[in-house]
Each structure stands twice: as C-alpha cells, then as structure tokens.
Amino acid sequence: MEENKVLQKLLEQQAKIAEQIKIERQKDEKKRQELHNQKAHLIGLAILQELKINEPFSNQLKDILDQRIKSKKDRVLLGLS
C-alpha cells in the first residue's frame, strides 16, 4: 500500500508539471505571435510611407496584391475591387 501512495503522489506531480508546461508553452506562443504582429505592423507602416513617394513601387505592389488577395472583403478594403 505504501508504494501506491508514493506512486500516486508522483503521478499527481507529473500531471501538475505537465499542466505547467502546457501553460508556459501557451505563454511562449502568445509572445511569439505578439512579436510577429508588431513586426508586421512596422513593416506595413514603412511600406505605406514608401507607397506615397515611390510610384513604380506602388504600381508593383498593387499588381502583387491584385494577384494574391482573393477575398472580396479584403479586396474592397485594399481598394482592389
């Protein structure tokens, strides 16, 4: 019986640690996603500024977006439809 108690305690600790690992992985993923979003935002701002002063770049980007953006809602938002 004593072995069962030790085993049970170890299994409970294992379950608790597994839950802590899951929580830490979720936190890490959230931080990675926030960093990705921040980078995308900064890149987008830089591109929008360049579009105002560089007509050839603006035309090239419009062609790329026109080819790649398929959603009607997104096309309307970007002035492609």
Domain range for 21 is 2-77
- How far apart are alpha carbons 79 and 34 in whole angstroms? 27
- How far apart are alpha carbons 21 and 18 in whole angstroms? 5
pLDDT the model gives residue 48: 95
Per-residue pLDDT of the chain (81 residues; tens, 9 = 90+): 677 999 999 999 999 999 999 999 999 999 999 999 999 999 999 999 999 999 999 999 999 999 999 999 999 999 997
Q: Give the number of domains in the chain.
A: 1
Closest CA to 62 of 48, 72, 46, 73: 48
- How far apart are alpha carbons 16 and 21 in whole angstroms? 9
